Structure 1
């Protein structure tokens, strides 16, 4: 039946709508006038989601954004002052020492391959999980809706919005909140996630657009190594490493994207500190400081 429905969808919709073929007719949505999805129903199950408009500039102060590079193991998080924490993918392994308030998962293979950590994430009722429509559906299919205790904030790739046609990168300029790299027309950043998030090949870039929208005034980034891609992530072992494709797009997409993000955060007077001292992201983009110095902890 599923194959038949997919064929019907392909026959009745132009190719630009192909990214919706696995959602139709199971998913029903409604959008606000500002563009974001505000109601979400999958196979008759009404899933409560946070309206993104309610989150705009809802936060202040400092945010610790935790990625998953090996350098995480060089940081003693137990001595870092209490602050809001946003994690991505496997960063939740630090839950014993960090109080995660926001989380971002947009890689569906992570949900498939790291079910044990996703179980812990969705069990946290005080956490807001930002994920896509496909992410919400996977949570329902794999874990069951009754296991999802966290709050859900639905985000979309700006180029592949649900039940809308694919937008080629050059046409993203029609979205007022989308800003482009000064030299590269294929690199963009959206300051209003209600109209979608721009993908650059790394979930950390999604997280930065979310952090900008939430209104944080200072951003500390940990684990943004973007180097030694052959090494296990901080929570992996050599026998349990998921593949990474970051190296393929590091120079062409990821670094220019962070250059653009740095400019936009700077224009808003938001300070960014990269506490991964050996990060491949140049100091001219995000200032690199030892974590003890960044948090005024004194010497070891």
Structure 2
């Protein structure tokens, strides 16, 4: 089985003769700026004209890689922290692993992917390891309460603390992925933390509809994978994005927008924008990119 090993001060994914180096998140922190698109899997992602914004970096996740392939876009990052998705849709996980510039997965996802096709990871020069806060190889290092108390003065980890309610200690936001990330039971939240870590200050989420009944844009009928959105929305998803709205965005240079007009997430938490508003928010970057292309042609 693919295992995580430490050799000569560096971490590797290793099995037999296969050795895949892990690039640490600290190397890429704050290296980027401007806008980024986070591509989720709600039905609205299938309608979004992604190719129109091909000049901007895209962070794809889980099955949303289908949209990137359809639009002939190589995502800047492909991320996955659900081994069940890899086991149930290994074709899509392989597509993401092969086509993305950067690949970040949890250890159990890497292991599931490697079991399906050992050639996929061996073709990459390095990968990045997604790890939850207060976890090592998926096992809690401290109790939730102890961990929340220990990081209460860390500016990179914004989270609650409660002696009575366990859930409150599991909700937060990480500005430094090398210290882990908060799950929130939905992968777009991990992508939001990654975008902030990388230095992007204007983040647009595509396909974050958050309605279990309408499923995902790339699957229908009996082929649709189960979802726990309804069970997790009030307890984890909504409170987590409220942390962003109330504690992260006012204190740090981060603007977060939802491009799904029918998203279950209220506009009071994450503002919703339509295509016209989107172009307005990108206007300055569009002009700069157009000017660069003109200079290159001349």
TM-score bin, normalised by smaller chain = 0.7 to 0.9
Deviation of 1:218 (Å): 0.6
Residue of structure 2 in register with 1:123 after alignment: 98
Residue of structure 2 in register with 1:105 after alignment: 80
**Whole-Å separation in 2 of the counterparts to 1:92 and 1:278:** 22
Residue of structure 1 in register with 2:29 after alignment: 56
Residue of structure 2 in register with 1:46 after alignment: 19
Higher helix share: 2
Asked if structure 1 preserves the Cα contact closer than 8 Å seen for 2:80 and 2:104, the reply is: yes
TM-score of the aligned structures, taking structure 1 as reference length: 0.81
Q: 2:214 aligned with 1:237, yes or no?
A: no
Q: 1:66 aligns with which of 39, 45, 65?
A: 39
**1:186-242: CA deviations, max 9, x gaps?**
421122111211121111111111111111111011111112x12230111223110
Residue of structure 1 in register with 2:209 after alignment: 225
Residue of structure 2 in register with 1:136 after alignment: 110
Deviation of 1:38 (Å): 3.3
Residue of structure 1 in register with 2:294 after alignment: none
**1:144-173: CA deviations, max 9, x gaps?**
145553441112122321287532222223
Q: Cα–Cα, structure 1 residues 224 and 146, in superposed 2: closer, same or farther, change >3 Å?
A: closer
Asked if structure 2 preserves the Cα contact closer than 8 Å seen for 1:68 and 1:90, the reply is: yes
Q: Cα–Cα, structure 1 residues 245 and 220, in superposed 2: closer, same or farther, change >3 Å?
A: same
Asked if structure 2 preserves the Cα contact closer than 8 Å seen for 1:191 and 1:209, the reply is: yes
Residue of structure 1 in register with 2:158 after alignment: 179
**1:119-147: CA deviations, max 9, x gaps?**
222222x5211111112222222111455
Q: Which ranges of structure 1 fall in alignment gaps of 5 or more residues?
A: 1-21
**1:50-98: CA deviations, max 9, x gaps?**
1211111111111000111112233222333620000110111112323
Q: Which ranges of structure 2 fall in alignment gaps of 5 or more residues?
A: 163-167, 284-298
**Whole-Å separation in 1 of the counterparts to 2:17 and 2:275:** 48
Q: 2:53 aligns with which of 64, 71, 80?
A: 80
Q: Which moved more, 1:113-122 or 1:73-82?
A: 73-82
Q: 2:186 aligned with 1:212, yes or no?
A: no
Q: Which moved more, 1:183-192 or 1:80-89?
A: 183-192
Deviation of 1:255 (Å): 0.3
Q: 2:134 aligned with 1:159, yes or no?
A: yes
**Whole-Å separation in 1 of the counterparts to 2:132 and 2:260:** 28
Q: 2:251 aligned with 1:274, yes or no?
A: no
**Whole-Å separation in 2 of the counterparts to 1:79 and 1:204:** 21
Report 1:5-20 matches (<5 A).
Answer: none
**Whole-Å separation in 2 of the counterparts to 1:165 and 1:269:** 31
